[in-house]
């Protein structure tokens, strides 16, 4: 008896998605709730689980097909039915057995991988495995249900390098298979790749922001000495008590809450001919994911402490890399913080995340000479930028909000006494 695999509910106002990748093929065994396909929506990649245990039967959609919520995309047969449907002629069976023997791993490798220990790899993990030539069956996964993450693969690759050999030496066959043939001298190549659904949505929203909002950016710089000193002084105690590292984003999130409280228009947005103000701060944090930029939301940031904010950010980052963020994680948001500094950016003009009216851009910290009390000193400085919708936010308000953030970072005590 075959069971149908249907497209699950994808979130509010999302009625369809695109088959990004089949994680299982016909004939593969599958467990209950084991992912069999990756489905791309406008905001996230969603894994489609199997409703029953059995064997994959027919795939009713191909990669790139658009499917609606509730549509049947595959069937799963029970073990008995699958066994009967997969019987082959003796000659074909002999050929299959010969092929299996030829492709079987050596005994040593068979011992390393437990019987039946097949892993479902996400696209990002699969790319990392091919790129670095590591054996996924020898790596212990730290993701949900023991699944491999990209970081697990990178760590394994680094471990092999530190053991005195290169990754290519450890797995020459995989490296050769993953490396494209070198182009002939003077040959010019082109490759056309269809944009993912998420990338199309990102492009459409960002272009819409430029067309529908009066964008302007104001800049400032802040001395990071006080924050760096506080982190250095309390990092061990903080980590011991809260089981999370004390990062920079917690400071900027709390500083932003101060600014948005004093300048409420920066935390508002335009809807029709009305302005919608908020008495809470839901901060969207821009996070880099394998398929593009996503912006999960820290709810009620104004009511959370540093530890909870840091835990939320760390959780979002991990789930973004693993591809397990949900639509609800990214719903809403009244203000955005984007940290280009982690990639080395010195300065930028970030684009707002509609329908929000402002976004704070953070950048890399570098030692620069600054004048302090008439003397030139070397301080760790960061350029910060606030892009805003000038239809709603006046220049005075934008500059004031950014100045409040600067002052709170340079004197973190202000965040404790609400100044």
Which two three-digit tokens encode residue 287?
């996070």
Q: Which listed residue (79, 328, 390, 411) is catalytic?
A: 390
Contacts 24+ apart (CB under 8 A), 126-129: 128/153, 128/154, 128/157, 129/153, 129/174
Model confidence at 291, pLDDT cuts 50, 70, 90, reads low
Label the pairing between strands 35-40 and 274-276: unpaired
394 is catalytic: yes
Which residues of the chain form CATH 3.30.559.10?
A: 198-417
Q: pTM for the whole thing?
A: 0.62
Alpha carbon 277 to its chain centroid, in Å, reads 29
* CATH class of the domain defined by 1-87: mainly beta
Q: What share of the chain is helix, strand, coil (3-state, %, to 5)?
A: 40, 25, 35
Model confidence at 206, pLDDT cuts 50, 70, 90, reads confident
pLDDT tens column, 318-367: 888 877 787 788 888 999 999 988 888 999 999 998 889 999 999 999 99
Q: What is the C-alpha to C-alpha distance for residues 389 and 241, in angstroms, rounded to an integer?
A: 41
> What pLDDT, on a 0 to 100 scale, did the predictor assign at position 92?
44
pLDDT tens column, 123-171: 567 767 777 777 777 887 877 667 777 778 888 887 776 665 444 444 4
Residues with Cβ < 8 Å from 233, sequence gap 6 or more? none
Please, which residues bridge with residue 18 across strands?
40, 66
Q: What is the C-alpha to C-alpha distance for residues 200 and 215, in angstroms, rounded to an integer?
A: 22
| Fold adopted by 198-417 | Chloramphenicol Acetyltransferase (3.30.559)
pLDDT tens column, 232-262: 999 899 999 999 998 899 999 999 999 999 9
Residues with Cβ < 8 Å from 378, sequence gap 6 or more? 367, 368, 369, 370
Q: What are phi and psi of 94, to 5 degrees?
A: -60, -40
> What pLDDT, on a 0 to 100 scale, did the predictor assign at position 113?
38
Burial class (CB in 10 A: 0-12, 13-18, 19+), 217: middle
Q: What is the C-alpha to C-alpha distance for residues 385 and 402, in angstroms, rounded to an integer?
A: 8
Asked if residue 389 has pLDDT above 50, the reply is yes
Q: Which listed residue (79, 300, 394, 411) is catalytic?
A: 394
Q: Where are the beta strands (DSSP E) in 13-111?
A: 16-22, 29-30, 35-40, 45-49, 54-59, 66-68, 72-77
Tally Cβ neighbours within 10 Å of residue 231.
Answer: 18
Q: What is the mean pLDDT of residues 281-305?
A: 86
């Amino acid at each position: 008896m075959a069971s149908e695999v249907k497209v699950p509910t994808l979130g509010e106002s999302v009625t369809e998605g695109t088959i990004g990748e089949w994680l299982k093929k016909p004939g593969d065994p599958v467990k209950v709730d084991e992912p069999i396909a990756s489905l791309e929506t406008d905001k996230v990649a969603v894994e489609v689980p199997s409703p029953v245990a059995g064997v994959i039967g027919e795939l009713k959609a191909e990669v790139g097909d658009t499917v609606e919520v509730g549509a049947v995309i595959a069937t799963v047969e029970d073990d008995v039915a699958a066994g009967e449907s997969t019987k082959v002629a003796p000659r074909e069976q002999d050929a299959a057995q010969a092929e299996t023997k030829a492709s079987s791993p050596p005994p040593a490798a068979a011992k390393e991988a437990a019987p039946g220990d097949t892993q479902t790899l996400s696209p990002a993990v699969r790319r990392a495995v091919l790129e670095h030539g590591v054996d996924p069956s020898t790596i212990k996964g730290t993701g949900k249900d023991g699944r491999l993450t990209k970081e697990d693969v990178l760590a394994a690759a680094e471990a092999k390098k530190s053991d005195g050999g290169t990754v290519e030496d450890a797995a020459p066959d995989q490296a050769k298979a993953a490396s494209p043939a070198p182009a002939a001298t003077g040959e010019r190549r082109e490759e056309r790749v269809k944009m993912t659904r998420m990338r199309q949505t990102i492009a459409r929203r960002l272009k819409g922001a430029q067309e529908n909002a009066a964008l302007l950016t104001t800049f400032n710089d802040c001395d990071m000495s006080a924050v760096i000193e506080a982190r250095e002084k309390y990092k061990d105690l903080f980590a011991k008590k809260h089981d999370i590292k004390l990062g920079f984003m917690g400071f900027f999130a709390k500083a932003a809450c101060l600014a948005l409280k004093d300048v409420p228009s920066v935390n508002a947005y335009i809807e029709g001919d009305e302005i919608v103000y908020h008495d809470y701060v839901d901060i969207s944090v821009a996070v880099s994911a394998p398929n593009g930029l996503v912006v999960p939301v820290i709810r009620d940031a104004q009511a959370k402490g540093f530890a909870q904010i840091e835990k939320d950010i760390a959780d979002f980052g991990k789930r973004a890399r693993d591809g397990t963020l949900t639509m609800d994680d990214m719903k809403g948001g009244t203000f955005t913080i984007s940290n280009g500094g982690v990639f080395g950016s010195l300065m930028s003009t970030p684009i707002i995340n509609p329908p929000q009216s402002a976004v704070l851009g953070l950048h890399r910290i570098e030692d620069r000479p600054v004048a302090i009390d008439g003397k030139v000193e070397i301080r760790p400085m960061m350029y910060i930028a606030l892009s805003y919708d000038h239809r709603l936010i006046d220049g005075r308000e934008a500059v004031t909000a950014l100045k409040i953030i600067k002052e709170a970072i340079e004197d973190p005590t202000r965040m404790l006494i609400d100044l």
